[in-house]
Amino acid sequence: MQQRPLSVITPGETLLAEGRAAAPATIHQTAYQRLHGAASEAEIKERARAEGRITYHAQVGSTDWPATAAVLREIESGLAEHGHRCDRFGLTLSRAMSVDEDARASVHKETGPALAADEWSILGEAAAIQPHLGDFMIGTPAGFEHSLAALRAGVTTIGNLGQYNAYEMPGGQDDIQVTEAAIRSIGLLAAWRDRGGLVHSYLEDGVAMQASHYGAYLGWAALERYVVNDLCGARLAHSFGGLIDVPWHRAVVHFALDDLHGRDLLGSMIYGNTVDMRPRDRTHNLAVLATYLLVDIGAQLRRPTGHAMHAVPLTEAERVPSGAENVEVQLIAREIETEARRSADLFDWPRLERLGAEVAAYGVAFRDRALALLGDEGVDLRDPAQVLLAMRRHGMAELERLVDLAPPRAVGAMVPWKAGLVTGVVERLGRALPRLDGTRIVLAVLDVHDVVRDSLARALPRAGAEVILLPTDVTPAAIVETAVAEDADAILLGTYNGAALSIGRELRAAIDRTGYDGRVIVGGRLNEDTGLDLPVDVSDDLRALGFSPAREVEDAAALLAAVGAR
């Protein structure tokens, strides 16, 4: 979709006023808030921070709301048997929630529920666990309407600003429309700032994880804070952790974010390390769980920020976990908390805090230089809509290049997971790929899971292939049409969010319509939300459609070898 100039966007002051004016005077008090006698989740977080109490988070999202509510009740009752409670749950919504209910038929139903109009009001009543909404809310076309519905239901921590910077709908979207909706949503929560409203941003869901080092990662966080806190008058709750695999990096980021927020960070949750989890390897996953929780809980005890701890179920890498699997890791987490409380001297906290302060200082310098550059381009630095849109259009890699600020040695040596992984996957592909001279390949991934795409985009040309790289908002039909127009020998497609078979059927229909005769390789998480409790594997269905599933990059390399040999 062609970009419109920044000058046509509605002034941020107007958008914020519209958001504030729409804010309800009162909201529903959830079961969790009633249990604690509090008006908001933030109020309970403040208490926990003052008391040194650790809070806990579960991530849920079955095929529909009734199934999800049943999982929440199972978590609540399972923990109660052992004298524990879960404090909050993140609701993993379907991508179909990106748009209004009457337009959802145009978007694939992926993993997670798509809430009906009458289900918003009961989000906080399935169990005495506070709902948190991040996926497919702020940063989508329907983000403002859904943020308003969530706030009315008593959900006072709403996001995800990270997704605003990275999410694209299939078929494209008007980034000015989405930005206007995002600023209205922030205005809505700004009206509730003094009553506990928090704007959530999960940094790994956005472009921060595209950074080459954690100093630039903090620089992006500093830019978000400038927009939300300084320009919009709301309160930003940063979240992190899902893609941070090095244990001491997690502690440094924890301290750096707290320093960035003036030692007054009130976070949403520290997401568990998902990238080191392996399918069907319980022993390994238990070790990963214990390692990151010991660090995260220890850092929280050292520097309380109100972040809830997220214990990733051991089956996360395979499928949507069940209620019992959530209970299991929540109980393990309580045992690890006991160990963390008696192991305060296990880590060199002063050293990690000093490095965190250094990372935060670089982040502030990065922010200041980035803002100066945006100002030179004509962006109104007092208008949050213009700044946010300019950030989105530049992206992390481009801003790093423009800022051109060398980090201190210790900061530059802290390489995020994605940067390191892409290098590793490129090396694996270099060993696995044959020569593909003259082979033309259309490459696309239909969501934000872009590590393998970026690795292939780098490795395939080195093997001699000609790559036509498509954006994440491309439709399956457009992929096939591009392959026909480019006379491509193969399509290489990635999908991860529970709609692999729906996408496959659209591809098949487009192939039948156009007569495309190249090979189609489909990789990623090849499952489908079919209305059952959990998504089901559809690899055989994709084969029946004439496609070649690839679980690992080496599988894709072997399949491409056959293409190159034709």
Host domain of residue 95: 31-351
CATH number of the structural domain spanning residue 126: 3.20.20.240
Task: Report CA dihedral (442, 112, 326, 31) to the nearest 10 degrees.
Answer: 150
Residue 400 lies in a domain: no
Pair (276, 422) in one structural domain: no
User: What's the structural domain count of the chain?
Assistant: 2
Which of 211, 243, 253, 124 is closest to 395 using CA atoms? 211
Q: Would you state the structure tokens that stand for residue 330, as one six-digit string? A: 């929540």
Return the sign of the alpha-carbon dihedral for residues 43, 265, 225, 146.
Answer: negative
pLDDT of residue 407: 97
Q: DSSP letters of 40-105?
A: SHHHHHHHHHHHT--EEEEEE--SSHHHHHHHHHHHHHHHHTTT----EEEE---GGGGS-GGGGG
Residue 434: CB atoms within 10 A of its CB come to: 16
| Rounded-to-10 torsion of CA 35, 36, 40, 43 | -170
Residue with tokens 């060199």: 348
Q: Where is the domain boundary, 318, 351, 384?
A: 351
Q: Facing residues of 445 across strands?
A: 494
Output DSSP code: residue 230.
I
- The whole-number pLDDT of residue 170 equals 61
Q: Would you state the pLDDT for residue 7?
A: 87
253 part of a folded domain: yes
The per-residue pLDDT for 167 is: 76
Q: For residue 453, tell me if it sits in a domain.
A: yes
Same domain, 319 and 234: yes
Per residue in 382-427, pLDDT (tens digit) is: 999 999 999 999 999 999 999 999 999 999 999 999 888 778 888 8
What tokens were used for 418?
């994605």
Are 529 and 436 part of one and the same domain? yes
- Rounded to the nearest 5°, which phi and psi values hold at 49? -65, -45
Could you say which of 330, 351, 372 is where a domain stops? Answer: 351
Closest CA to 261 of 230, 225, 227: 225
Contact residues for 518 (Cβ-Cβ < 8 A; gap 6+): 483, 488, 489, 490, 491, 563
Q: Residues, the chain, total?
A: 566
Report if residue 5 sits inside a domain.
no
DSSP 3-state of 309: strand
Over the chain (566 residues), the average pLDDT of each successive run of 10 is 84 98 97 97 96 97 92 98 97 87 75 90 97 92 95 96 82 87 98 98 92 97 98 98 96 98 96 93 97 98 97 89 95 98 94 98 98 97 98 95 97 91 83 91 80 85 92 86 94 84 91 94 83 78 92 87 71
User: What is the per-residue pLDDT for 392?
Assistant: 95
Is residue 203 situated within a structural domain? yes
Whether residue 320 is contained in a domain is answered as: yes
203 and 320 together in one domain? yes
- Give the per-residue pLDDT at 1: 53
Q: Are residues 299 and 211 in the same domain?
A: yes
Q: How far apart are the first and last CA of the chain?
A: 36
* Last-in-domain residue among 300, 330, 351: 351
In-domain check, residue 6: no
Do 300 and 177 share a structural domain? yes
Residues 99 and 240 in one domain: yes
Give the model confidence (pLDDT) of 106-118 as tens digits: 776 667 899 999 9
Pair of tokens at residue 305: 């920020």
Q: Is residue 393 part of a domain?
A: no
Quote the pLDDT of residue 161: 95
The 8-class DSSP code of residue 529 comes to -
Position 31 scores a pLDDT of 98
Which CATH number do you get for residue 433? 3.40.50.280
Whether 457 and 547 share a structural domain:
yes
Verify that 436 and 323 share a domain, yes or no: no
- Enter the tokens of residue 368: 């200041």
